[in-house]
Amino acid sequence: MSNRFLQKGQHSLIAQAQDLSSCNTLRLQCQAEQVVDLQSLEQMNELGRELVRAPECLVLGGGSNVILPITLSSLVVRVALKGIELVESTADHWLIDVAAGENWHDWVVTATARGWWGLENLALIPGTVGAAPVQNIGAYGVELCQRLESVTAWHVAAQKYVTLSRAECDFGYRDSIFKRAKRGEWLIVSVRFALPKAWQPVLTYPDLAGHPQLALVSQAVTAQAVLEAVCDIRRRKLPDPAVLGNAGSFFKNPVVSALQYQALQARFAKLVAYPQPEGSFKLAAGWLIEYCGFKGLRSGAVGVHAQQALVLVNYGHAQADELLAFASTIREAVQKTFGVLLEIEPVVV
C-alpha cells in the first residue's frame, strides 16, 4: 500500500508501507501501513497541515525505546532532520542547536571533539537527538535535563512550532511532558543544548571512577577519556542490539518511600537501593528481577539477559504480545515478592 497519506504530484512527502522489524532495536516484527521520512523543515510545514488528520501518529527515531505492534495502521513519521549549529557563546555556556534526526552518540562524539563538554557520560546511548528529551535520557550520573536549554517541537493540534524551556519540559526520572502527552501530540524538531564552559567530570558512579582509563590519568581526566571509559563499560555490560534484540533497561527502577524501603530492607538484607535527595529510595529493578529467579531465563523467543536482569531480549522472531506477556509474568512475581509494581520503560505502541 503506498501514497495513502500524501498523494504523489501534489506533495513531496509520500507515505509508503514499510516493514519496521529492522527499525526497532528489539527487532519485534512490525508492518506499518504508512511511513513518511521527514528530511527538511520545508517538508515539516507541509506535513504539519496533514498531521491534524492523522490521529495517533507515531513519531519514530532510532526505534530503541519502543515496543511496536505486529501491524501499525496509524501514520509513522521517521525523523531524519539533520544539522548542528553553535548559536551562542555566553560567559558560562556554549549554546548549540541540534536537529532531531541526528544520531545521539555521533552528536556526543562531535561535541566532545569540538570542546563542548558535558555529554560524555551519555555516550553510546542508541537513538536520535529528538527522542532524547522524551524520556530525559540518563546514564552514569548525568541526565539530559542538566545539559538542555530548550526543545523546539511542532505542536500538532495548534499547528505551530513551540519552544519549551527546560522548566516547561517538566523533566523527571525517564520522564517529561513529551512522554506523558498523548501519542502524536508533539514532533520535536530540534534541541538546544547548554554546555558548561567550566567543565567538571562527573565520576559519581564507582564503575566509572574506578575505570583503568580514568584511574591512570587521575588528576587530569579529560572529557574524551570519560567518553571512552563510558563506551568501554557499556560495551562490556550491555548486549549489542545488532546482535541480540533489546531496548536497554526494560523496567524503570521503582522509587519507594523511606518507610517502605526500611520494611523491605528488614526482610531482604541484600536489597540494592539508592537514596534520593528528597528522602525516598530508588530500588534496583534488576536486583528485584534477579531475586525472583528470572536472570537468564528464556520463554519461547524472549528472555531475560544472562548478565543484565533489567534487559529483556528477543532471541528470534518475537512479536510484541509475547514480550509483553513475559514482562507481565516478571511484574507479577516482583509484586508478589516485594509488593512493588515495576513500570515498563520503553513506549508501548
Ligand X SMILES: Cc1cc2nc3c(=O)[nH]c(=O)nc-3n(C[C@H](O)[C@H](O)[C@H](O)COP(=O)(O)OP(=O)(O)OC[C@H]3O[C@@H](n4cnc5c(N)ncnc54)[C@H](O)[C@@H]3O)c2cc1C
Point out which residues bind ligand X (CB under 6 A). Answer: 25, 58-66, 79, 100, 125-128, 130-132, 134-135, 137-139, 178, 186-188, 238, 241, 246-248, 347
Q: Is 174 a catalytic residue?
A: yes
27, 147, 166, 174: the active-site residue: 174
CB of 35 to ligand X, least distance (A): 13
User: Smallest gap, in angstroms, from Cβ of residue 111 to ligand X?
Assistant: 16
| Burial class of residue 315 (count of CB atoms within 10 Å of its CB; 0-12, 13-18, 19+) | middle
C-alpha cell belonging to residue 100: 532531531
CB of 180 to ligand X, least distance (A): 11
**Nearer to ligand X (CB atom), residue 261 or residue 303:** 303
**Is 249 a residue of the active site?**
yes
Question: Containing H/E element for 270?
Answer: none
CB of 91 to ligand X, least distance (A): 30
Nearer to ligand X (CB atom), residue 94 or residue 154:
154
CB 326 within 8 A of CB 320: no
Smallest gap from Cβ 269 to ligand X, in A, equals: 28
Min dist CB 207 to ligand X, Å, is: 13
* Per-residue cell: 251: 523496567
Nearer to ligand X, 38 or 223 (CB): 38
Task: Output the nine-digit C-alpha cell for 66.
Answer: 519502543
φ, ψ of residue 46 in degrees (nearest 5): -65, -45
Own/partner pairs for 287-293, CB < 8 Å, 24+ apart?
288/254, 288/334, 288/337, 288/338, 288/340, 288/342, 289/251, 289/330, 289/334, 289/342, 291/337, 292/330, 292/333, 292/334, 292/337, 293/333
Q: Which is nearer to ligand X, 213 or 314 (CB)?
A: 314
Q: In the chain, which residue ranges form alpha helices assigned H by DSSP?
A: 41-51, 104-113, 166-169, 177-180, 206-209, 212-215, 223-237, 258-267, 285-291, 320-338
DSSP 8-state code for residue 252: P
Specify whether the CB–CB gap between 252 and 282 falls below 8 A: no
Interatomic CA distance for residues 31 and 23, integer angstroms: 11
d(CA 218, CA 209): 9
Shorter beta-carbon distance to ligand X: residue 102 or 149 = 102
Distance CA 66, CA 76 (A): 13
Please indicate whether residue 64 is annotated as part of the active site.
no
Nearer to ligand X, 132 or 264 (CB): 132
Q: Which of 244, 239, 242 shows the shortest CA–CA distance to 318?
A: 244
Query: Which residues are part of the catalytic machinery?
Result: 174, 249, 345
